Chains A and B, each alone.
Chain A
C-alpha cells in the first residue's frame, strides 16, 4: 500500500488506480478468458487456480468484503486491500487488464457458493467455551496470541478453507505460524510459533506467550517445521451440527466494528 501510494506521487502516470467507474468489458466472454489467463499468473497462488480460494478468499462466492460493484473489485485489485495480505497490482497491469480480471471474477461468481447453514450464536459459544479456541486466537481484542487473530477471518478465508483449518490444522499454515523448536545447550526444549527464522537465529513465542530469541551458535539445535501448533483433536470434539455452527460464527467475523466494541 505504502509503495503504491508513493509511486503515485513519484510517477503519477504509472498509477492505473484512478477512481474507476464502469467496466468496459462487463459480460464480455473474451475479456473474461483473458482475465482468466492473467488470474492464473498473478492471483492463483492465493485465490486458487480455479478462484475457489485458499489463503485468499473464495472468489466464486459472489460476495466480497470490499464491496460488490465492479468498481469495488477494480479498486481492490489495483490498490490492494488494507489490513489483509492482498497486494496492489496497479504497477503490474494496465487499466484494461484490471477490468479483464474483474470480468473473469464476475464470470465465476456464484459457481462455488456454499450456504452458511449453522447458527452463528451457537458457534460463538462453542468457540469460547467447549472449543476453548480463545486460548490461542484473538477476536476483537479478546483471547490469546499464539494463533492468528481471527477478527476478520470471515472475509479473508473461504468457508471450505475454514473447515479444513479446523479439522486439519496442518493442511495449510498461515505465513509466520510455523513451529519452531529450540533445544538449548542445557537440554531445555522450547517450542513456539515462528516470529523469525533465518540462517543464524530464531525468534519465537511459546504457548505462555513469552518471546524468545536465540542465536544458532548458542543452542544445541533449532528447527522449523511446516506444521501448526493447533491441536488436531477438533475433528473428534465437534459433531457435524456443532461444526457448522462454529463455521457460521467464523464466517461472520468480518473485522473490527466501527466505534470500538
Chain B
C-alpha cells in the first residue's frame, strides 16, 4: 500500500495539472512557471523572481545540459510547469524533459517532406500549451497538437500549401480556446495571414489576410495584382490584451523585398502592427511603420503591451523597436502614434510625422549597383525577443548597429521559389556590430547601451533581481545590470545563443534556462 502511494505521487508529480485559460491570463502572477512564449500575454519576458539578483548572480552555475542531438540550432522559448520542460527543436523535433534532471521523457519528430522553402533556417521558436495539450507548428506549414505527457500526436492541420512557399516557425499563442499562429514565406511571394484554430479539433476558426485583396479596404495599395504575392508574413508570436479582447501581431516585408517597382503604393498591411478582434480575426486598427518598404524591414518583433505615462497622460500602449531603426509607442486602443524616435543610426528618414508616416530622405532606395543605407537588412532590432521590466519601467531589446549595401534586380515571380528582387549585403571592412539597449518607452530615450562586437543573436529576459539576461553570437550567456547595463556575470555555453533565456522555480529554487547551439542548459546559484 505504501509503495503504491509513492509511485502514484512520483508519477503524478510530472505533468499532472492542466493549463487552464485562467492560468494563462494570470501567467505573470506565477513566477514558478513559464507558460507561454512571452511569459505573459503582454510579451514582457519579465519574472518576479529575485533569488538570482545583482548581488548573487556571480554564483550562477550550470546544473544540467540537455544535448538534443539535432544538427540545427535551437531557438525555442521553453515552457515550464509541473516539473516538466517542453522545448521545440529545429527540423520538426520537440522534447519533453524532466525539469529536475534534464532527462528526456519523450521525443517528438516528424520527417520534413520534400519541397519546403525556408529562407532562413529550419528553426522553431516554441510551444504553446492549453489543457493537457501542447501546440507547435511544423516547418511544412502545419499545426500539431501533442499530448503533453507522451508527445503523441493528437491532431495535425495544414495551415497552407508549401508549394506556394508557405512555412511556419513561430510559437503559437493561445487565446481563449483558440490557437493563433503566424506563417513565414515573404521571401517566396506568399500572401501573408494570421490564423486561429480550435484547440480541441484543429479546425480553423478565422483567418486574417495581412495583404488585402483587390476591392477590400487597403487592396488599392498594391497596383494591379501584386497583392497576390505581397508577403506580409507573421513569423513572430503576437501579444493579447484580454480586457480589450485584441490580439496584436507584427507583419513582415512586402514581396519582392528589394524591388518595389512591381508593387506601387503603401503595400498594406506589410511592415505594420495589426490589432485584431480575438474572436473573429477582424481588423480593429493597423499602424504601418514602413510604407512601401524597400529594405526588408519587417515589423515582426514582439508588440509589447505596457501602460505608460506619455506627456502626463496615462495610456495603454503597444511598443516596438522596429527593424527600420525607429522606436514606436502606439495607443493600443486605437493605433494612434504616441512616440517615435530613432534608437540607432538611421539614414532613410529624418523623423516620423504625427500621422505616423516617415519623412523620407532621397537616395536611399536599392539600385542595380547598390546603395548604402542604414540600418542593415536585419534592422535595427530584428525578431530577437525583447523584455519590459515594470521595476525600471524600461524596455530592453538587442540591436544591430550599422549599414548595408542594398541591391535591386528585376525578377519574375515563380511560385514556391525565392522572390526577393535582389539583396542587402555587408559593407566590406565596416561590419555591423551589436548592442543590448535599455529605453524609456514613454519618451523613446535610450537609457544605456551594452555594446557587443557582433550583431545580436539572442533574445532577452528581465527579472525583479534587477537583471537582464542575454546571449550572444560567440556563445556567452550574460547577466547585465538592468539599471546600468554593466555586465555582472557570464558563462560561455559553447554554442551560439539564439533563443531567449527563461526563469522558473523548482522546489523553491530559482533557475535560468537557455537553449544554445543544439543543447539546452539550466543554471542555478551554487551553494556557498
A40-B407, A198-B454 given; A6·B476 CB < 8 A:
no
Q: Within the complex, what minimum Cβ distance (angstroms) separates B493 from chain A?
A: 12
Separation of A91 and B91 alpha carbons in the complex (Å): 13
Tell me the nearest residue of chain A to B257, going by C-beta. A41
Asked if B412 and A14 sit within 8 Å, CB to CB, the answer is no
Q: Within the complex, what minimum Cβ distance (angstroms) separates A48 from chain B?
A: 11
Q: Which residues of A contact B430 (CB under 8 A)?
A: 226
Q: Within the complex, what minimum Cβ distance (angstroms) separates B414 from chain A?
A: 9
CB of A232 closer than 8 Å to a CB of B: no
CB of A172 closer than 8 Å to a CB of B: yes
Q: Which residues of B contact A173 (CB under 8 A)?
A: 429
Q: Which residues of A contact B283 (CB under 8 A)?
A: none
Separation of A226 and B116 alpha carbons in the complex (Å): 39
Q: Within the complex, what minimum Cβ distance (angstroms) separates B219 from chain A?
A: 28
Asked if A224 and B453 sit within 8 Å, CB to CB, the answer is yes
Q: Which residues of B contact A10 (CB under 8 A)?
A: 71, 91, 111-112
Q: Which residues of B contact A42 (CB under 8 A)?
A: 423
Separation of A44 and B426 alpha carbons in the complex (Å): 11
Q: Which residues of A contact B452 (CB under 8 A)?
A: 199
Question: Which of A13, A170, A172 has the largest number of chain B CB atoms within 10 A?
Answer: A13
Question: Which of A36, A40, A49, A197 has the largest number of chain B CB atoms within 10 A?
Answer: A40
Option from A11, A49, A172 in Cβ contact (under 8 Å) with B112:
A11
Within 8 A of B (CB), among A164-200: 170, 172-173, 196-200
CB of A3 closer than 8 Å to a CB of B: yes
CB of B160 closer than 8 Å to a CB of A: no
Q: Within the complex, what minimum Cβ distance (angstroms) separates B427 from chain A?
A: 11
B238-263 vs A, Cβ < 8 Å mask (1 yes, 0 no): 00000000000000000000000000
Q: A10-B112, A92-B418, A200-B490 are in contact. List 17 more A-B contacts (CB 8 A).
A: A3-B71, A6-B71, A7-B71, A11-B112, A13-B115, A37-B409, A37-B422, A38-B418, A40-B423, A41-B418, A41-B420, A41-B423, A42-B423, A44-B407, A172-B429, A197-B453, A200-B478
Q: Which residues of B contact A121 (CB under 8 A)?
A: none
Separation of A44 and B404 alpha carbons in the complex (Å): 14
Task: Sample 14 A-B pairs with CB under 8 A, ordered by A number.
Answer: A3-B71, A10-B111, A13-B114, A37-B422, A41-B418, A45-B426, A91-B118, A94-B417, A172-B429, A197-B453, A198-B454, A198-B472, A199-B452, A199-B453
Separation of A196 and B111 alpha carbons in the complex (Å): 37
B470-497 vs A, Cβ < 8 Å mask (1 yes, 0 no): 0011101010000000010010000000
Option from A7, A11, A44, A224 in Cβ contact (under 8 Å) with B423:
A44
Asked if B71 and A37 sit within 8 Å, CB to CB, the answer is no
Option from A34, A49, A91, A224 in Cβ contact (under 8 Å) with B412:
A34
CB of A242 closer than 8 Å to a CB of B: no
Within 8 A of B (CB), among A73-108: 91-92, 94, 97
Separation of A196 and B452 alpha carbons in the complex (Å): 14
B405-429 vs A, Cβ < 8 Å mask (1 yes, 0 no): 0010111100001101011011011
B459-476 vs A, Cβ < 8 Å mask (1 yes, 0 no): 000000000000011101
Q: Which residues of B contact A92 (CB under 8 A)?
A: 418
Separation of A165 and B425 alpha carbons in the complex (Å): 22
Separation of A19 and B409 alpha carbons in the complex (Å): 31
Tell me the nearest residue of chain A to B472, going by C-beta. A199
Within 8 A of A (CB), among B213-243: none
CB of B370 closer than 8 Å to a CB of A: yes
Asked if B425 and A45 sit within 8 Å, CB to CB, the answer is yes
Q: Which residues of A contact B412 (CB under 8 A)?
A: 34
CB of B113 closer than 8 Å to a CB of A: yes
Separation of A97 and B414 alpha carbons in the complex (Å): 11
Separation of A224 and B431 alpha carbons in the complex (Å): 12
User: How many interface residues does A have (CB within 8 Å)?
Assistant: 31
User: How many interface residues does B have (CB within 8 Å)?
Assistant: 37
A38-68 vs B, Cβ < 8 Å mask (1 yes, 0 no): 1011101100010000000000000000000
Asked if B112 and A14 sit within 8 Å, CB to CB, the answer is yes
Separation of A92 and B472 alpha carbons in the complex (Å): 26
Q: Within the complex, what minimum Cβ distance (angstroms) separates B438 from chain A?
A: 17
Separation of A36 and B426 alpha carbons in the complex (Å): 19
Separation of A184 and B431 alpha carbons in the complex (Å): 27
Q: Which residues of B contact A170 (CB under 8 A)?
A: 429
Asked if A13 and B425 sit within 8 Å, CB to CB, the answer is no
A10-B111, A173-B429, A226-B429 given; A199·B478 CB < 8 A:
yes
Q: Which residues of B contact A196 (CB under 8 A)?
A: 474
Q: Within the complex, what minimum Cβ distance (angstroms) separates B386 from chain A?
A: 19
Option from B111, B407, B425, B474 in Cβ contact (under 8 Å) with A198:
B474
Separation of A45 and B424 alpha carbons in the complex (Å): 9
A6-B71, A34-B412 given; A13·B478 CB < 8 A:
no
Asked if B370 and A49 sit within 8 Å, CB to CB, the answer is yes
Q: Which residues of B contact A36 (CB under 8 A)?
A: 409
Q: Which residues of A contact B472 (CB under 8 A)?
A: 198-199
Q: Which residues of A contact B420 (CB under 8 A)?
A: 41
Q: Which residues of B contact A3 (CB under 8 A)?
A: 71
Q: Which residues of A contact B428 (CB under 8 A)?
A: 172
Separation of A170 and B428 alpha carbons in the complex (Å): 11
The 10 closest A-B pairs by CB, nearest first: A13-B114, A198-B474, A41-B423, A226-B429, A11-B112, A37-B409, A199-B452, A37-B411, A45-B425, A40-B422
Separation of A6 and B426 alpha carbons in the complex (Å): 30
Tell me the nearest residue of chain A to B412, going by C-beta. A34
Separation of A40 and B411 alpha carbons in the complex (Å): 11
Q: Within the complex, what minimum Cβ distance (angstroms) separates A17 from chain B?
A: 13
Tell me the nearest residue of chain A to B259, going by C-beta. A37
Asked if B71 and A40 sit within 8 Å, CB to CB, the answer is no
Q: Within the complex, what minimum Cβ distance (angstroms) separates A79 from chain B?
A: 16
Q: Which residues of A contact B91 (CB under 8 A)?
A: 10-11
Tell me the nearest residue of chain B to A6, going by C-beta. B71
Asked if B478 and A44 sit within 8 Å, CB to CB, the answer is no
Asked if B453 and A198 sit within 8 Å, CB to CB, the answer is yes
Q: Which residues of A contact B370 (CB under 8 A)?
A: 49
A13-B114, A40-B423, A41-B422 given; A198·B476 CB < 8 A:
yes
Q: Within the complex, what minimum Cβ distance (angstroms) separates A42 from chain B?
A: 8
Q: Which residues of B contact A91 (CB under 8 A)?
A: 118
